Structures are given as C-alpha cells and as structure tokens.
Structure 1
Amino acid sequence: MNYLFCFETYKENSLSGRYITLSKIEKLLQHFSIKNELTVLGYSVLQKPIYMYKVGSGKIKLLFWSQMHGNESTTTKALFDLFNFLESDTKEVLDWKKTFTFIFVPILNPDGAELYTRENANRVDLNRDFLQLSQPESQLLFQLFEEVKPDFCFNLHDQRTIFGAGKTNSPATVSFLAPSFNEERAINDVRQKAINLIAGIVEELQKYIPSQIGRFDDGYNRNCVGDTFQQLGVPTVLFEAGHFQNDYHREETRKWIFVSLLKAIDLLYENDIVDNKTDNYLKIPQNNVCFFDFVYRNVKINYENSKLITNFAVQFKEEIVGDDVIFIGYIASVGDLDDFFGHLEYDAQEELFKDDEGNFPINGKKANFSLGKNKVFVNGLLKK
C-alpha cells in the first residue's frame, strides 16, 4: 500500500490547525453516519455529546480514542483522514471491514477541546482518572471498553515541542509507548503484542523520518488509561504526535500519524506481530526533554553592572484568539543551555540584549527584544 498516496488522496481538508472542537467535526460525523453507525455514548460535564463511530463487521475489534486531552488535536485530524479512507472501495478497505470492527471516539473530552485545555471542565486530567473514574468522560470510555471487549486499543495524544528523539537535535515527531501493566515494567503476552505492533510501525516510519521517532517513558501509573487497559489484558498502544520542523500547526505530523495508523491496521490484518521484537522496540530512542522553541546563544547582557555573555531560550504558549490557536513566545530560561537545542537557533555574536526593561532577559516576559543596534525580534522572530 502506498501510504503517502493514501494521505494525499483522503486527507480531510476541512480540518486544519490546532483548534479542533466538537462543532468542527459534527457535520462530518453526520455525513459518515449515512453508511456507518454513529452513536452518542453520553455527555460531558458541560453536556456536550460524546460520539462513537463504528465501521466494519469483523471479529477483531479495534478501539481508538482521541482528544482525551482537549488541546491535543493532531490525532483527531488523522482519524478523519482515516475515516475518508475507510469510506473508499479499495481492496484493502473491503478486506479490513470484513476482518475488523473499528470503534472510534473522535473527541473524548469535548469541553476541554472547546476551552483548549488538557483537563475537562472539572479541571481533571482524564488520563489520571482511571482508578477513581470520577468523571463522566472517563466513565464512558471505561464502559465502552467493557462493552466492546476490544482486541486492541489505540490511545491517541499530542506531546509538547520540548521532546527530542533521544539525545539528538531531532524532534520527536511521533512517539510510541506499550504501557506497563505493573511496577516492574514486565513484559507478558499482552504487552508483547503492543511492543511488536509498535516495532512494525516504526520500521515503516524509518523510511521517512528515521531520526524523529521516540519511545515514551514506560513508568507504571495505574491512574492512566493505557496502563489500566494493558493490565486488564488488552494490548494498548499510545501514540504521541509531536513537533516536525516548522510545523506548529502539525499538518506534517498529522501525515505521519495517519501513516502509522494505516501501518498498524495492515500489520494486524497480516498477523505480522507474532515475532518477538522487544529488542527493536528498546532501540527506539527514548523521549528526552532537550528542546526549546528558540535558543539564542552568545548574547551580551548587563548583569549587576557587568557585561556577560550568556544564552537564553524562548518557549511558545498556545493561546486561543477567536477561532484559532496562536503561539506567543515567552522567555523561558537564561544561562547554560549546552544540553538543549532550539527548533530555531540564533547566534547573537555577542551583541547586547535590550528590551523595555533593560539589558537582561527575564523569565516569563514576552519575547519582544533587540540584539545589537539593528536586529529587532517580535514574538521571538527576527523582524525583517
């Protein structure tokens, strides 16, 4: 299968950017419901509907959910690209629909999606609520899990731009995890299936983004959904959509999530996850906090009436303005940044920092400043 051709052909062009809300997907879901089953599982804290979309009639049941964290929308876009593909009459799709029943929850946390927050309307992180099950959204997903009895689970998330793929200057564009089911991080038959599936996905991704694939930390947390479902005997794979160079709206990353999903389904269809691929899995570089959005090196500052040379970093914060997410840069760190990279780096060549308060970058301030006499930076970027 030509995965890149499939993406270009079936991409859902009406969805773009980072701010994906229930109102933006409901009409699309209603369109898809003409041929397939669309059900309201229940309602969020603020009484927004939480939808389940089902495709296919096969014995193998695959459960997917996205936007458990409301501000993590890249995988939701990729799901709608997948929905378009599953509407096609290609041989692969016809075979898949006979083999699998696909169960999707496109936005589990519609309140958080609207507010563009990680938490739900009660300020609870749903991915830390699978021991207490205190929230309606967590309860609905767990009830669906018990009712469906899936054979595989796909837990779809975004991760911040701070992560690199190991200790390199490559961002972790896509990261994976086969969650642990106990404190010892043991590998049983259930977790082995998740590990083997991830290894197969990564083998495909290495053809395209070989240095930009990461492995998420596998520390056990019973409060997390993936650890819980793995412990309950269902292989579960965590997908983390991360940063691609100059892709803050994550349209490029979306493509690699789509490719990953197609490859995962292909591997399951071919039953190509039987060999032990633990070594391959463990060779995937572990996610490492080693990035800022901007790093400025060799900057002259005025510190206690002395001129010093230092470095500083700027990190974007995502803020909602109208119907879109914008990125506002704030100074995040000053000093020795030898262990960090910037998605964009600037060598100040010992020119003097200056902003409206003086000659020293202050953490938490907006990134509007100058370097030397002529170089003006607005929101962290050099003004042309």
Structure 2
Amino acid sequence: MKESNYSEIYVSNILGRYITYDHIDEFINGLPSTFKIEKVGESVRGESIKSITFGNGPKRILMWSQMHGNESTTTKAVIDLLNYLKRNVAEVSDISNACTLKIIPILNPDGARDYTRVNANKIDLNRDAQDLSQPESRVLRKVFQDFEPYFCFNLHDQRTIFNVGETNKPATVSFLAPAFDKERNNSPSRELSMQLIAAMNNRLQEEIPGQVGRYDDGFNANCVGDAFQMSKTPTILFEAGHYHEDYNREKTRAFIFKALLKGVSTLLNNTISDYSIEQYLSIPENGKQFVDVIIKNDDFISNHLTNSKAVAIQYKEVLNKGKVEFRPELHVFEKEPKELYAHKTLNCNDENDLKWLKENDLLNLQP
C-alpha cells in the first residue's frame, strides 16, 4: 500500500494537543457510508463513546486512543488513517476485503475534555482491566469480546523524558509487545506482536533513524495490553513521543500514521513472517535522561540548585481556555541520571539565549 502524499492525507483542522469529540465529530460524521459509525457506550458523565468500522474482512484489527484523556497524538493519527481510507477508495479495496478495522478514537471523553490522564472518577483506565470498575473500561471490554479482534493496537502518548537506549536521541515513537505473565515469557500472541512491531520499526527507521524505543515490559495484569495478551490476542502498545521542537506533536502524528499503515499492510499482505523476534529485541529500551530545557550558567545555577551542574526544566501541560500551555517548572530528579540530555540547551551568557529565557519567563523560577 502506498502512503501517497501525507500532506494531502493530514487533516489540518484537527491539530494541537487538546482533542475532544467536539474537534473530531464533524470529520467522523462526514465519513461516507462505507464507514459504520456507532455509539458503543457512555462515559461517567454520559458523553457518547463512538467507534468507526471499516471493511468486512476476516482480519479484525481493534484500535483505541485516548484511554488517557491527555494523550491525543494517536487520535490525530487515526483520524489521518481514516482520511487515507476515505480518499484512496480504489487503493484500499484490498484492506476492505481482507480486514475489518474498528477504531475507538476517544475512549475517555471526560478525561479528554478535562485534559487529564484519568476519567471523571479519577481512575486510570489502564489500571482497571481486571476490576472493570469504570463504564469506559466496560465499554472497551465489551467491544473486545464482541469484535473478537485478530490484533489490538493500544494507542498512547509518552512524556518528553524518554531517550532511546543510552543515546541522546529522543524516543519519538516507542512500542511494546506487552507481557502476559510475571516471568515475561513469550507466547504465540506475544511473538506475533513482536514481529509486527519489527515491521513498523523497519518502516520508521527510514524516517526517524535511531528515534524508536522499546517500552518497559514489566507485567501488570491490571493494564489493558497485558490483559488482552493474557487472552491470547496479539496486542501492541504504541507510544507517541517527542520530536525536535514538536510539542504539539504534529510531526509525531505522521510517524504514528505511517506505523499504523505499515502494521495494517503487513497483516493484509501476510508478510509478518518476514520479521523476527530478534529484530524486535534489538530495538533499544527507553531511557529517562531527557528534560525539556537545561540552563547553563554558574551564577544562575548557584542561586537555584547549588549541587547541580545545570538547571533542569520540565514543562507542565496546563489546559487554559481550550488550549494546552507548556509551563516551565524546575525539575528535581528522584535519581539523577549519569548523563542528562535536553531538548533545548541554553546559556545565560549568550545574548540570544538570555533573550529567549526572558521571553519565556524562565529566569524567575523558584526551586
């Protein structure tokens, strides 16, 4: 399958970090009749949770995004995927015949509206896979049971702190084949997850070499990916991360879209056996060595954190009047890494850097 020209696929009026059903409903409702749109449940506050189904083939792929309401990059990517399917009717006929895609673009609409990780009851839905205490968790489980997916794509965002392995490259995209037991053994479903990730990584290395990481695979039965893997359904965790100066993650959404398309095409064309578990395991694990800004200047540092070589700043995402603001805060490490990387490094002795620091109100931070 061809990606065509991504600039033509990109849905430009759905952008930024704050995404609710208000932002995507017009697009969803404008999809042609080849897409089945249905209400699959309600949130705590009674907002509709919707799914979009495309195709009628035997390879059923279930995708859900914004399980955490403030993780919207993958929602934008699935909107782009839907637009691709809508615009390339002849090109995607093979998908329609071989696959059935079911996409829940926003599983946690209350969290999306509040721009919080948790739902309206302050529960992390990705720790509710066993208790199923929340309506949104029960919605996903019912869709999973009724749809009987061949593969699951669990779509998330990750923080800007992650780097790839021990390198100074950000983990712009990370993947995980979730464990199904405490020993983190392999199973047929987990091995398929690993192979499909290897395929998507192979594609992304063409775009962002060295910027794909592997997420920690510690087992937690309360996490949805682990729970579905326990059900012998191959499941993949996607984590959209940071790309240089892309805090709104418009570039990262493109990489997620291309990974999704590669995943679907690999399953469609039965080429998953071309990729190995070893290729998956060769993806470096994520480190946690990044901060958003490092300020270097002896006098400035001595007035703030006297025991540090540099002042580390991390942005806090705050919803303000329908937009997400990135507010700087001094970052204190629980355990400071051996080596620290920053998405931006500034020196108070540099005139241009000092001007930027003043414009962004970074000189008056208090520890």
Q: Same fold (TM over 0.5)?
A: yes
The 2-side partners of 1:189 and 1:328 are apart by 45
Report which stretch shifted further, 292-301 or 63-72.
292-301
Q: Distance in 2 between matches of 1:375 and 1:322?
A: 25
Tell me the residue number matched to 1:272: 271
Structure 1 residue runs of 5 or longer lacking an equivalent are 352-369
Q: Which amino acid aligns with 2:157?
A: D
Task: Provide the rounded CA distance (Å) in 2 between the counterparts of 1:310 and 1:284.
Answer: 31
Aligned to 2:162: 163
SS in 2 for 1:333: coil
Aligned-pair distance for 1:337?
Answer: 6.7
Residues in 2 aligned to 1:109 and 1:267: alpha-carbon distance in whole angstroms: 29
The 5 A counterparts of 1:158-197 are 158-197=157-196
For 2:272 and 2:264, how far apart are their aligned partners in 1?
11
**CA distance in structure 2 between the partners assigned to 1:345 and 1:58 by the alignment:** 50
Name the counterpart of 2:339. 339
Farther off after superposition, 63-72 or 316-325: 316-325
- Tell me the residue number matched to 1:361: none
Q: Is 1:230 the counterpart of 2:237 in the alignment?
A: no
Q: Indicate how the Cα distance of structure 1 residues 376 and 78 shifts in structure 2: closer, same or farther if over 3 A, else same.
A: closer
Number of equivalenced pairs:
361
Q: 1:119 to 1:345 in 2, by over 3 A?
A: same
Larger helix share, 1 or 2: 2
- 1:120 partnered with 2:119: yes
Whole-Å Cα distance in 2 between the matches of residues 379 and 277 of structure 1? Answer: 47
**In structure 2, C-alpha distance between the alignment counterparts of 1:350 and 1:326, rounded to whole Å:** 26
Q: Unpaired runs of 5+ in structure 2?
A: none
The structure, 1 or 2, with the larger RCO (C-alpha pairs under 8 Å, 6+ apart) is: 2
2:296–2:310 CA contact under 8 A, matched in 1: yes
Query: What letter corresponds to residue 168 of structure 2 in structure 1?
Result: N
Taking a change above 3 Å as real, the CA distance of residues 290 and 33 of structure 1, as seen in their structure-2 partners, is same
Between 166-175 and 328-337, the greater mean CA deviation after superposition: 328-337
Aligned equivalents of 1:376, 1:236: Cα separation in 2: 43
Secondary structure of 1:80's counterpart equals helix
Distance 1:380 1:270 in 2: 53
TM-superposed CA distance for 1:347, in Å, is 3.4
The structure with the larger Rg is 1
Whichever residue aligns with residue 313 of structure 1, its letter is A
Q: Secondary structure at the match of 1:209?
A: coil
Counterpart of 1:379 in structure 2 is 360
Task: After TM superposition, list the pairs within 5 Å mapping 1:208-287 onto structure 2.
Answer: 208-275=207-274, 277-287=276-286
Matched residue, 1:48: 47
Alpha-carbon contact 1:68-1:126 (below 8 Å) kept? yes
CA distance in 1, matches of 2:227, 2:74: 21
TM-aligned CA deviation for residue 298 of structure 1: 4.0
Provide the residue aligned with 1:83 in structure 2: 82
In structure 2, distance between residues paired with 1:336 and 1:349: 25
More displaced stretch, 222-231 vs 266-275: 266-275
Query: 1:142 and 2:155 equivalent?
Result: no
Is residue 173–residue 241 contact of structure 2 (8 Å, CA) maintained in 1?
A: yes
Which residue of 2 is the match for residue 107 of structure 1? 106
**2-side partners of 1:181 and 1:239: how far apart?**
17
| 8 Å Cα contact 1:177-1:216 kept in structure 2 | yes
Q: Map Cα deviations across residues 129-187 of structure 1 (whole Å, 9 max, x no partner).
A: 00100000000000110111000000000000011111111110000000000011111
Tell me how far apart the structure 2 counterparts of residues 205 and 99 of structure 1 sit (CA, whole Å): 24
Cα distance in structure 1, aligned partners of 2:52 and 2:300: 56
For residues 301-320 of structure 1, the aligned pairs below 5 Å read: 301=300, 310-320=309-319
Q: Which has the higher strand share?
A: 1
Amino acid paired to 1:379: N
Query: Distance in 2 between the 1:301 and 1:209 partners?
Result: 35
Residue 92 of structure 1: how far off its partner (Å): 3.5
